Structure formats: structure tokens, C-alpha cells
Amino acid sequence: MATKTMEDLFVDGIKDIYYAERKIIAGLKKMIRGAEAQELKAAFDKHLQETEGQVERLVQVFDLLGKPARGKTCPAIDGILEEGQEILEEFKNSPALDAGLLAAAQAVEHYEIARYGTLKSWAMQLGKNDIAKLLDQTLAEETKTDQALTQLAEAKVNRESKTKAA
């Protein structure tokens, strides 16, 4: 059996995030339908559009690697998305629903930020600067989305979830 290389690890990571992004698209569609606040629905919809672009960017990465665009099951994102689904089911019609959905979305963002940061670093170490630039674009989008979600949580959603419950 051949020794696995950093290149193999990198390609596995790309497959992992490709799988994750495709699963996130499905999860975002459910969260858009389940959210109550229009601002939250709009934030999720904006991220859905970005995520679709990120999948296209990953296809470019696969092309640059000379590999077919194929995902690899990612138990981490499956678990994070499952938690979001549980919130949708358990807090339906609850004043805390939107706060829970927003927190679940941020868990997804934090996973993506960690994964894209690592992949960008590995791409640079492997001399794949064109791929690193693509990954950096997505990392910047994920960071901006996380900041926007934090702002929405602090300025509106968390406060309204608390007020509705009182």
C-alpha cells in the first residue's frame, strides 16, 4: 500500500467540503422554509445563492486538480445539519425557533471557515496558488456571512425570541 501524501490529504479535504456544500444547500432550503423572521429568511437565501457559487468554485478546483468533482461523506457536516433539523422539528411554533436556526447556521459557518482555512493553507504549501485564491474567495464569503449572522442575532433575532417568550 502506497504511503498517503499531503496531496492525498488535500484532495480528500476538497471532496469533503464539496459533499458538505451540497448538503448545506439542501439544509438551507429547509431553514428558509422554517424560519419566521423575514430578515432571517433573506439571510439564509443570500447564503444559499453564495453556496451555489461556492459549489461551482469547487468544481473549478477539481478541474485544476484534474479530478472528477465527487464528494466524500462528511460525518461532521451531517451531524451539524442533523442538529439544525432537530431544532426545526423541536422548536416549531416556538418563539425560540429563529434563534435556534441562526445558531445552527453559525455552526455550519464555523465548520466551513475552519475547513476552508485549512484547505487554503495546504493549497499554498503545495504550490497550488490558483486553487488557494479560489478557496480564499470562499473563505472570505463564509467569514462575512458569519459576521452578518452574528449581527442579525444580536440586533434582532435573539432579542425577539426572548421578548416573544416573555
161 — pLDDT class (breaks 50, 70, 90)? confident
Mean pLDDT, to the nearest integer, of 22-48?
Answer: 94
CB-based contact 55:112 (threshold 8 Å):
no
d(CA 68, CA 49): 23
CA distance 64 to 83: 34
Q: How sure is the predictor about 164, in pLDDT bands with cuts at 50, 70 and 90? A: low
Round to whole Å and give the CA distance between 12 and 122.
12
All cell numbers assigned to 69: 468533482
Number of H-type helices and E-type strands within the chain: 6, 0
20 contacts 112 by C-beta, under 8 angstroms: yes
Q: Do 146 and 113 touch, CB atoms closer than 8 A?
A: yes
Looking at the chain, how many residues does it have?
166
The mean pLDDT value for 65-72 works out to: 97
> Which pLDDT tens digit goes with each residue over 92-142?
988 899 999 999 999 999 999 999 999 999 999 999 999 999 999 999 999
Is the overall model pTM greater than 0.75, yes or no?
A: yes
pLDDT bracket for residue 163 (50, 70, 90)? low
Question: Among 97, 151, 118, 133, which residue's Cα sits nearest to residue 20?
Answer: 118
Domains recognised in the chain with CATH numbers: 6-165 (1.20.1260.10)
For residue 166, pLDDT over 80 is answered with no
Q: What is the chain's alpha carbon radius of gyration, rounded to the nearest angstrom? A: 17
DSSP letter at 2?
Answer: P
How confident is the model over 53-68, as pLDDT tens digits? 999 999 999 999 999 9
Task: Categorize the per-residue pLDDT at 1 as very low, low, confident or very high, splitting at 50, 70 and 90.
Answer: confident
